Structure 1
């Protein structure tokens, strides 16, 4: 794939999507220099040496952000994943990363598995993909959502330093050490496995995981490092003990309740629904490599996810866009827009996939908006996604240009 990089680029005749206000700014010029937006306005912008791109009224908006991915989850069989060569997993991950960028995602937040090596390779353009924010290994208690040993397994054939998504730690001292270790390795956020899950063999969906003291220790270490925490949690019982302790984003949340919504608002926390992964797992999980007995756990949360989405939208809970897809099912990454669109208006959906993510991560103004100072992470669309959100789900027909950090990775204008 050919990429082009101009130190200065100026878009003219652009209809700019204002993600915060949910409106179109007509006939704008946008100037990019050294990977950042330096000017925006309706009048002519100065720049003698600019590469000028005439958008002819097409729609310019920030690149999309997926706040829950697993770029190293090349299979939904996590026990198998932990036995694979990390070189093989990295090679296969490169394909997943490139496909994400080609769908318009210029930033993704990895929820367990990716590390500084992959993030650096993307930053250097050794791998083509979205900017990668990574949690390193998700923190899990013994027998928790990150422990892939079966109930009769006495030994572990893989190792917790290879290609898995999580690491097991128990007790305040261990979780504190594990949190510090992931921070040492450059984690941009910490991931807590705080309830049971679908893909783990020995826990129950409705279980809570980690003691309050352990959770406090993890959040304290993240806060000390000026990064945020994200927590895997399904039930209201799990969610409602996490948010007051400073966890910034709740992943999934399918079985939340009204009290959960109140806590989200009170503590300025964010919900990341991941409807697309349950839809995909129910339809093709076993064919994609998931064990049949684990696929059955999907149905415990499948229908509840839509109800939780409606509840969150009704209460005004701020949400992020998350797909959480595994293996070959990652091709359905844009389906989350379609699964939410009957409940969530287009402007809110766009905010979830742009500026809300920057706010939740503590990076307001750095990405997710077309404003001076923000990264030059931009996409150009043929039609207006505020009028029809499905525009964002048709990259082959609608996505005309992809720019990340001022570099153009796709241009069919």
Structure 2
């Protein structure tokens, strides 16, 4: 039995516009067991933060831990062993930035998740969908116009984000196989995308029956479908089919924003990736045809942030960066803070992110029963969101499941 006591720590979790009074936080066997003033708790280790600020471990609702280069077609060609080793570095960097839980939206497998859960690697907790489901010529079909390689070649490639399935029966089988393989939800590509060669944004790809098939399988297994979406027509179509989480949503209309706020679906904007792709994409290997698509969604996505916040939509923090650009993961904080209050930005990476992941009360909060994920920060992010920027320079300690992962 491992115990730890953190004394004199003010908490910021996005639930209010100021830090709490300094409190004591008791941890036992990887969980928070008590939070309050002047706790009497016998602990193996006591850490006195002397009135400093702590936050729940941060949550990124949209990452690709196996995307070791921005050229995703090339990434799929890499040896699985190389992708694994590179992914370990990417995940460790995320943890050092304070992200103790990340949701992978295509690529990470059960082996990487188990390694993190077992503590075999220093990495965030992984929530996975396995391979994202796409159709021939859709997002994650990286073969391009001149390649007719059989898609089965990609089946065992760790470096590929998705799998191709055409028709209701294939979609059903693929969804079942991903859940059998450890997927905790299903991801579908329900619109065109930036990084793939043959699918324009606003392209209505999967048929209505195919989308409904994926939703039926997911719900039958007690989970949900999250969908890659930009264009409002594609978003409305997906919502009508039962999709419950929108990834990106850059071109969503005011009417559809009001709908998701009313009906309770989630949305995960990922604006930092477009901001960075526009300037640095080619340097990190993004093909020219993908760079050309960025402008279509970049400005619109930023403008939508204020509308989503004002409507009260459930919004999770997401980065969606690729390869070496993943170092910009924390840049989404400052980007959102131009359009939303700092408190709301923080909440999107803590309490609201936990709701998006359907792990409310488990993560994103410092409260009895939750995983003991915590970061200590040098300053008050409610006043200065840049405390969370960079590579963790503003973070003095990271705990995951009660274990100190780094302390400076």
The answer to whether the superposition gives a TM-score over 0.5 is yes
Identify the residue that residue 59 of structure 1 maps to in structure 2.
53
* SS of structure 2 residue aligned to 1:92: helix
* SS of structure 2 residue aligned to 1:350: helix
Q: Which of 358, 367, 371 in structure 2 is aligned with 1:362?
A: 358
TM-score (norm 2): 0.96
Identify the residue that residue 81 of structure 1 maps to in structure 2.
75
Q: Partners of 1:266 and 1:245 in 2: how far apart?
A: 17
**1:120 and 2:120 correspond:** no
> Displacement, 1:84?
1.1
Identify the residue that residue 147 of structure 1 maps to in structure 2.
141
Provide the aligned length of Structure 1 versus Structure 2: 406
Please give the residue correspondences for 1:291-310 in structure 2 after superposition, counting only pairs within 5 Å. 291-310=287-306
Q: Partners of 2:160 and 2:43 in 1: how far apart?
A: 48
Identify the residue that residue 245 of structure 1 maps to in structure 2.
241
Q: Partners of 1:14 and 1:250 in 2: how far apart?
A: 36
Identify the residue that residue 383 of structure 1 maps to in structure 2.
379
Identify the residue that residue 4 of structure 2 maps to in structure 1.
9
Q: Partners of 2:65 and 2:13 in 1: how far apart?
A: 29
Is 2:13–2:350's contact at 8 Å kept on the other side of the alignment?
A: no
> Displacement, 1:60?
1.1
Q: Which of 378, 388, 397 in structure 2 is aligned with 1:392?
A: 388
> Are the structure 2 counterparts of residues 18 and 127 from structure 1 closer, same or farther at C-alpha, using a change threshold of 3 Å?
closer
Q: Partners of 2:272 and 2:43 in 1: how far apart?
A: 44
> Displacement, 1:51?
1.2
| CA deviation profile, 1:130-166 (whole Å, cap 9, x unmatched) | 0011111000011110211111222259523212000
Q: Partners of 1:301 and 1:201 in 2: how far apart?
A: 16
Q: How big is the alpha-carbon RMSD for the aligned residues of Structure 1 and Structure 2?
A: 1.4
Q: Partners of 2:145 and 2:390 in 1: how far apart?
A: 43
Identify the residue that residue 103 of structure 2 maps to in structure 1.
109
**1:95 and 2:97 correspond:** no
**1:262 and 2:258 correspond:** yes
Q: Partners of 1:410 and 1:328 in 2: how far apart?
A: 22
> Are the structure 2 counterparts of residues 106 and 11 from structure 1 closer, same or farther at C-alpha, using a change threshold of 3 Å?
same
* SS of structure 2 residue aligned to 1:330: helix
* SS of structure 2 residue aligned to 1:144: coil
Moved more, 353-362 or 191-200: 353-362
Identify the residue that residue 125 of structure 2 maps to in structure 1.
131
Is 2:328–2:390's contact at 8 Å kept on the other side of the alignment?
A: no
> Displacement, 1:394?
4.6
> Are the structure 2 counterparts of residues 152 and 395 from structure 1 closer, same or farther at C-alpha, using a change threshold of 3 Å?
closer
TM-score (norm 1): 0.95
Q: Partners of 1:156 and 1:309 in 2: how far apart?
A: 40
> Displacement, 1:221?
1.4
Q: Partners of 1:89 and 1:19 in 2: how far apart?
A: 35
Please give the residue correspondences for 1:30-49 in structure 2 after superposition, counting only pairs within 5 Å. 30-42=25-37, 44-49=38-43
Residue ranges of structure 2 left out of the alignment (5+ in a row): none
Is 1:379–1:400's contact at 8 Å kept on the other side of the alignment?
A: yes
Q: Partners of 2:182 and 2:213 in 1: how far apart?
A: 18
| CA deviation profile, 1:294-334 (whole Å, cap 9, x unmatched) | 21111111111112222212322221100000000000000
> Displacement, 1:219?
1.3
Q: Partners of 1:275 and 1:197 in 2: how far apart?
A: 14
> Displacement, 1:396?
4.5
> Are the structure 2 counterparts of residues 18 and 330 from structure 1 closer, same or farther at C-alpha, using a change threshold of 3 Å?
closer
Identify the residue that residue 3 of structure 1 maps to in structure 2.
none
| CA deviation profile, 1:321-365 (whole Å, cap 9, x unmatched) | 000000000000000011111111111111100111211222110
**1:168 and 2:164 correspond:** yes
Q: Partners of 2:287 and 2:232 in 1: how far apart?
A: 27
**1:325 and 2:321 correspond:** yes
> Displacement, 1:18?
4.0
> Displacement, 1:395?
5.0
